[in-house]
Structure 1
Amino acid sequence: MTDSIVVTAGLTKRYGTITAVDGVAMRVEAGEIYGFLGPNGAGKTTTLRMLVGLIRPSAGSATVLGRAPGDPDVLRRIGVLIEGPGFYPYLSGRDNLRVLAKYRGLGRADVEDALDRVGLAARADDKFRTYSLGMKQRLGVGAALLGHPDLLILDEPTNGLDPAGMAEMRELITALAGDGHTVLLSSHMLSEVQEICDRVGVISGGTLRTEATVSELRGAASVLVRAEPLELAFPAVRDALGGNALLTSGGIRVDAGPDTAPEVARAVVAAGADLLELRVDEKSLEEVFFELTELETVK
């Protein structure tokens, strides 16, 4: 297996005059949780459907586990949950997974292992129609886990869940990555991506705006200082940090890491000013997301 599990170049999908996905170039590395982040209708699901061979791209290329999407060898090594789980309502959770396992040439041990890993072993004999939404989503992940896939592709796995269900799903995904699975997670939930993803691709209007780690997207932290009088505090902070300070309406912003906070505090006090507040200020993923998708909002 190569380090790059998913690689796309110029991946495009058009439906007549509508371009749903426009020239996406993304890379998912082995062992990571990759967050595919974008608003509803941004092109996330269309991209995932191309990656698993459900639809053909109009242009560009993609490889999954070193092969073309839809290759039988690839399909045996990936687990997929796209657009919600679909199961027989009158069958139990266990029997639903047995049907899928039989199609894939897998045994009952694989079914029991999947049920155990998603926390449904105790309710495995209950009919699917009696499951809560969170349990249905977990069974969908269990189906994706059949056969111990190298890559899991999960499309909005927390969609429609209550806060408790969302937290359980995040814990499950983190545990799966810890067990060695690579996870490609499509989501429009900023908090979800920020909490569990190693890297993020932000898609908007069918275009991949950026691809980076969460910390890279949020940028370097700065230190915000409120002190009085400012005419004493500002020159002291500026001189202490070699001019690396900016006077703003909210106080003094220092473009440096939190390790400079003690030095800043000493400079303010030594100048005879009162230190009212000193805190680390960092962009939230939400702020970055809206900056990157602003063009789509304006259209």
Structure 2
Amino acid sequence: METILSINGLHKHYGKVHAVNNVSFDIQKGNVYGILGPNGSGKSTTLGIILSVVNKSAGTYSWFGGAKETHEALKHVGAIIERPNFYPYMTAYNNLKLVCNIKGVPLQKIDEKLELVGLLDRKDSKFRTFSLGMKQRLAIASALLNDPQILILDEPTNGLDPQGIRQIRDIIRLIASQGTTILLASHLLDEVEKVCSHVVVLRKGVVLYTGTVNGMINSEGFFELKAADNTSLQALLQEHPAIDKTELVEGILFAYPKAPLEAADLNRYLFNNGICVDHLVKRKSSLEEQFIQLTSNQPEN
């Protein structure tokens, strides 16, 4: 699979603050990547470095296998890393016409991209009349005018209402379905889980996880259990070789396996040892649960 971007050992210092700390990951063509982390985790700094608007302290990155110099490679990259900035008293069409002239893009691309983001019927409306969500969609249209191989978005739904969030997410899925690679930074777990195929988890500039979203979610999961005697149930669960830990919360026992374990096998084990459960369900860990577990296990700087 073709590598769009390769990042190796990237560092960025702001005085005593180590904003990006030995970050490494690859972006493969055709996937939707999310850089996930709380505010201050180094997401925007990492994007700024690869887009040559922030100077790195150490490390390397290369676009398209190093076949092109960064300046030339960025001509094949579309990016939105700040709030949309267009001329307020010009129409959507005329704003994009300016971008086409700057980038040397044919004007017929304007209607094509406006239709893609659902703004073709507002092409002659002034930018100042647009809602925040519409402004963001126009920015996406602008970033797509040169048919980039990769689209980079920094917090694309920040500040939007639920309808605006849904529209942006639908557009991201549509763009991805047409073969454009996407890299987005977000602090929203729901956003990454719904639109991304791959995720890089950052905390205080350090990569905690990199891989597929499904690979992060599809851990061993966990069990919810309840019995007439939860104390005996918990003691027996803790003796099972595949159970890592247990906790009792509001009358429900949660058991977290450290090795593959099916509900039927656990139920048989309990029954053979004299425990009949009233409730036993195996659940898949959500991205939120995995994220909290990752970040809570990371020591403070």
TM-score bucket (shorter structure) = 0.7 to 0.9
Q: Does the 8 Å contact 1:236/1:267 carry over to 2?
A: no
User: Which residue of the partner structure matches residue 285 of structure 1?
Assistant: 287
Please, which runs of 5 or more residues in structure 2 have no aligned partner? none
Secondary structure, in 3 states, of the residue corresponding to 2:151?
strand
Identify which range, 84-93 or 228-237, moves more after superposition.
228-237
Identify which range, 151-160 or 71-80, moves more after superposition.
71-80
User: Which residue of the partner structure matches residue 54 of structure 2?
Assistant: 55
User: Which residue of the partner structure matches residue 28 of structure 2?
Assistant: 29
Secondary structure, in 3 states, of the residue corresponding to 1:55?
coil
Q: Does the 8 Å contact 2:238/2:246 carry over to 1?
A: no
Query: What are the superposed Cα offsets for residues 222-267 of structure 1, whole Å, 9 maximum, x if unpaired?
Result: 333223356997899999xx86457653437373768x33565577
- Aligned 1:77-226 pairs, distance under 5 A: 77-218=76-217, 219-226=219-226
Change in Cα spacing, 1:278 to 1:84, as seen in structure 2 (3 Å) is same
Q: Tell me by how many angstroms 1:201 deviates.
A: 0.7
% identity of equivalent residues: 36
**2: distance between equivalents of 1:232 and 1:55?**
58
Q: Does the 8 Å contact 2:6/2:61 carry over to 1?
A: yes
User: Which residue of the partner structure matches residue 253 of structure 1?
Assistant: 255
Identify which range, 89-98 or 280-289, moves more after superposition.
280-289
**1: distance between equivalents of 2:222 and 2:16?**
45
Q: Does the 8 Å contact 1:238/1:244 carry over to 2?
A: no
Residue type matched to 2:59 in 1? G
Secondary structure, in 3 states, of the residue corresponding to 2:86?
coil
Query: What are the superposed Cα offsets for residues 23-44 of structure 1, whole Å, 9 maximum, x if unpaired?
Result: 2111111111110011112211
**1: distance between equivalents of 2:237 and 2:20?**
48
Secondary structure, in 3 states, of the residue corresponding to 1:22?
strand
Secondary structure, in 3 states, of the residue corresponding to 1:108?
coil
Q: CA RMSD in A?
A: 3.1
**2: distance between equivalents of 1:226 and 1:56?**
55
Q: Does the 8 Å contact 1:237/1:267 carry over to 2?
A: no
Q: Does the 8 Å contact 1:52/1:70 carry over to 2?
A: no
Aligned length: 295
Q: Does the 8 Å contact 1:35/1:197 carry over to 2?
A: yes
Residue type matched to 1:224 in 2? E
Q: Does the 8 Å contact 1:229/1:274 carry over to 2?
A: no
Identify which range, 24-33 or 215-224, moves more after superposition.
215-224
**1: distance between equivalents of 2:178 and 2:197?**
15
Identify which range, 260-269 or 219-228, moves more after superposition.
260-269
Q: Does the 8 Å contact 2:198/2:213 carry over to 1?
A: yes
Query: What are the superposed Cα offsets for residues 124-162 of structure 1, whole Å, 9 maximum, x if unpaired?
Result: 111111100100111111111112111011111001011
**1: distance between equivalents of 2:269 and 2:246?**
15
**1: distance between equivalents of 2:19 and 2:237?**
50
**2: distance between equivalents of 1:108 and 1:252?**
59
Query: What are the superposed Cα offsets for residues 91-140 of structure 1, whole Å, 9 maximum, x if unpaired?
Result: 11111111101111111211111101111101111111110010011111
Residue type matched to 1:53 in 2? S
Q: Does the 8 Å contact 2:31/2:182 carry over to 1?
A: yes
Q: Does the 8 Å contact 2:76/2:147 carry over to 1?
A: yes
Secondary structure, in 3 states, of the residue corresponding to 2:136?
helix
User: Which residue of the partner structure matches residue 13 of structure 1?
Assistant: 12
What TM-score does the superposition give when structure 2 sets the normalisation length? 0.85
**1: distance between equivalents of 2:256 and 2:52?**
50
**2: distance between equivalents of 1:225 and 1:61?**
49
Identify which range, 289-298 or 273-282, moves more after superposition.
289-298
Secondary structure, in 3 states, of the residue corresponding to 1:57?
coil
Q: Tell me by how many angstroms 1:287 deviates.
A: 2.9
**2: distance between equivalents of 1:44 and 1:69?**
24
Change in Cα spacing, 1:119 to 1:248, as seen in structure 2 (3 Å) is same
